[in-house]
Amino acid sequence: MNWKRASIAAATAAPVIGLFAWGLTRDPNSIPSPLPGREAPVFALQVFAPGQGELMRPAGDTVRLTDLRGTVVVLNFWASWCLACRDEHAALSDVARSYAGQPVQFLGVLYNDVPDKGTAWIAEMGGQSYPSVDDPGARVAIDYGLYGVPETFFLDATGRVAYKHTGPVTAAVVRFKVDSLMAAALHAAPSPTAADTAGANPKAGKVQ
Partner 1 sequence: MTMKRTKWGALAAVGVLVIAFGWLIYGGLDSNVVYFLTPKELLAKGAEGYDKPVRLGGQVKPGSVVWDDHALDLRFAVTDGAGEITVHSKGAPPQMFKDGQGVVVEGRFGSDGVFKSTSLMVKHSNEYKAPTKGERPSDMYKSLMKSPTT
Partner 2 sequence: MTRLLAFDSIVVALAVTALGAILGPVAVRRGRRDWVMYLYAAVYTNFVLVTVSTLALVYGLVSHDFSISYVAQVGSRATPTFYTIISLWGALEGSIVFWAWVLAMYAAAVVWINRKREGNLVPYAAITLLVVVLFFHILLVGPANPFQPVFPVPFDGPGPNPLLQNHILMGVHPPLLYLGYVGLTVPFAFAMGAMLSGEVANDDWIRLSRRWTLASWGFLTAAIIAGMWWSYEVLGWGGYWAWDPVENASFLPWLTCTAYLHSVLVQERRGMLKLWNLNLMVGTFTLTILGTFLTRSGIISSVHAFTTGTIGYYFLAFIGVVLVSTLFLVAGNSDKLASEGRLDAPLSRETAFLLNNLFFTVFMFTVLIGTLFPLVAEAARGVKVSVGEPFFNKMTLPLMVALLFLMGVGPALPWKKAPGPELRGKLLPGLIVGVLFAAAALVAGTRNVYSVLAFLFAGFSLVVNVGEFVRGASARVTAHGESWIVALSRLVSGNRRRFGGYTAHIGVVFVALGIAASSTFKQEQEATLRPGETVTVAGHTLRFKNAWGREEKQRQVIGATMEWMDGDRVRAVIEPRMNYYPTSDQPVPTPDVRNTLRGDIYLNLMAFRQDGSTVTVKVIWEPLVPWIWLGGLILCLGAIIGILPERKRLAGDRRTPSPAPSLTEGQP
The answer to whether residue 61 forms part of the interface with partner 2 (CB under 8 A) is: no
Shortest Å, Cβ 189 to partner 1: 26
Longest distance between any two alpha carbons in the chain, whole Å: 77
Contacted entry of partner 1, partner 2, none for residue 66, CB cut-off 5 to 8 Å set by kind? none
Shortest Å, Cβ 17 to partner 2: 5
Catalog residues that contact partner 1 under the rule CB under 8 A.
31-35, 38, 41, 79-84, 112-114, 117, 137-138, 141-149
How far apart CA 208 and CA 26 sit, in angstroms, is 8
State phi, psi for 24 to the nearest 5 degrees: -65, -20
Shortest Å, Cβ 142 to partner 1: 5
Shortest Å, Cβ 119 to partner 2: 18
The answer to whether residue 42 forms part of the interface with partner 2 (CB under 8 A) is: no
Strand partners, 77: 109, 151
Shortest Å, Cβ 60 to partner 2: 29
Question: Judged by CB, which is closer to partner 1: 138, or 172?
Answer: 138
The answer to whether residue 28 forms part of the interface with partner 2 (CB under 8 A) is: yes
Q: 84 and 147 in contact (C-beta within 8 Å)?
A: no
How far apart CA 192 and CA 92 sit, in angstroms, is 22
Q: Which residues of 102-115 are buried (b: 16+ CB within 10 A; e: fewer)?
A: eebbbbbbbbbbeb
CA dihedral 14, 16, 20, 23 (to 10 degrees): 110
Contacted entry of partner 2, partner 1, none for residue 103, CB cut-off 5 to 8 Å set by kind? none
Which residues are CB-contacts of 99 (< 8 A; sequence separation ≥ 6)?
Answer: 106, 178
The answer to whether residue 188 forms part of the interface with partner 2 (CB under 8 A) is: no
The answer to whether residue 9 forms part of the interface with partner 2 (CB under 8 A) is: yes
Site for partner 2, rule CB under 8 A: 1-3, 5-10, 12-13, 16-17, 19-24, 26-29, 31-32, 81, 83-84
